[in-house]
Structure 1
Amino acid sequence: MLLLWLTMFGLSIASALLPFLPMEAIIVGGAAAEPGVPAAISLGIAAGAGATIGKIVWYELARRGSSSEWAQKKLSSPKIQAGYERWTSRMEGRPVYAGAVMFVAASVGIPPLLLMAAVAGVLKMPMWVFVPTVFVGRSIRFGLLFLGVNAFLPAFLHF
């Protein structure tokens, strides 16, 4: 179980960094390898932790890159500037609102978490809001996916 847990953790970091690597497909394999509710919860937490680390990388890249010449040029566009100001006014000084938006992105995927991690970095969302909301949201999402695969896998195996 430890090897599977570490593998799930590592693959979820890779999936969070590389959008073309779908974590949902990896979860199907993990759930088939280790069925059961305790394994689903444990593997969901492993996947949530790895995904959080990957999204912290995107957050930091956006935060540090927002002061670059390229980013400043992009932010000077009136349309981009208006969107930036709108999100800044919504998020600044409102950690509960910012956390709720991030939690929905992490747990449901709308808006996409990769995009929201970058937005959070540009807006310099406090890490004390970003990290726990992404971790809890992703752990719930992945844990439920593991449980769902566990519930339906036996029916598929009997075909």
Structure 2
Amino acid sequence: MLFWSVFGASIASALLPLINIEAILAVSVSQAPEHVWGLLIAATVGQMVGKILWYWGGMHVDRAPWVHRQLQKPKAKASLDRWHERAEGRPWFTAGLLFFSAAVGFPPYAITAVLAGILRVPFGIFFMTGLLGRGLRFWAVVFGTSSLLHLF
């Protein structure tokens, strides 16, 4: 039951960044340390399910007239063009940025997920870098937290 709760909370937190999955995961692992790996997997996969929705939204941004109009404004268009220039023909840069964002949270992963969709980053690259980055982030939260708890 805890597995599914963390999985659901992880999806919700991917869609609504105000929900802190790191805190939920740390508390869940402290309550059921024998299930640490299952909870890590639940959080990681759940986050990616939610981020795939952001990615898909970026791919289909032209279907939302208000967002499309916002992206046509000169400042937004110039920013998007700069990102397109940075990513075009540089798959390692793009993959590295996505991995870094997923692992560290800067730039915010929800924003890079949308940007990846807008820039048409191949889904496999988006998914694998996100899965690895989020997995590493949650591993650090769980094992960093458990290390700190053993100090007290």
Flag whether TM exceeds 0.5 (same fold): yes
1:5-154 equivalent positions in 2, closer than 5 A: 5-35=3-33, 39-154=35-150
Q: Distance in 2 between matches of 1:125 and 1:66?
A: 16
Mapped contact 2:11–2:47 kept (Cα < 8 A): yes
Q: Distance in 2 between matches of 1:130 and 1:66?
A: 20
Q: State the TM-score, normalized to the length of structure 2.
A: 0.90
Q: Distance in 2 between matches of 1:62 and 1:34?
A: 37
Query: Looking at both structures, which has the greater relative contact order when contacts are Cα pairs under 8 Å and sequence separation is at least 6?
Result: 1
AA matched with 1:40: V
Cα deviation code 1:21-70 (max 9, x no counterpart): 1112102211211226xx43442222111101100001111211235432
**Aligned-residue offset at 1:95:** 1.9
4+ long deviations beyond 3 Å = 39-42
AA matched with 2:17: P
Mapped contact 1:47–1:142 kept (Cα < 8 A): yes
Mapped contact 1:104–1:137 kept (Cα < 8 A): yes
Q: Distance in 2 between matches of 1:14 and 1:73?
A: 28
Q: State the TM-score, normalized to the length of structure 1.
A: 0.86
**Aligned-residue offset at 1:10:** 1.8
Q: Indicate the larger mover: 48-57 or 74-83.
A: 74-83
Q: Indicate the larger mover: 103-112 or 16-25.
A: 16-25
Cα deviation code 1:56-105 (max 9, x no counterpart): 00111121123543233222221111111110111123221111000000
Q: Distance in 1 between matches of 2:40 and 2:137?
A: 8
Residue correspondences, number: 152
Mapped contact 1:63–1:121 kept (Cα < 8 A): yes
SS in 2 for 1:111: coil
- Structure 2 residues without counterparts, runs of 5 or longer: none
SS in 2 for 1:93: coil
Percentage of identical aligned residues: 38
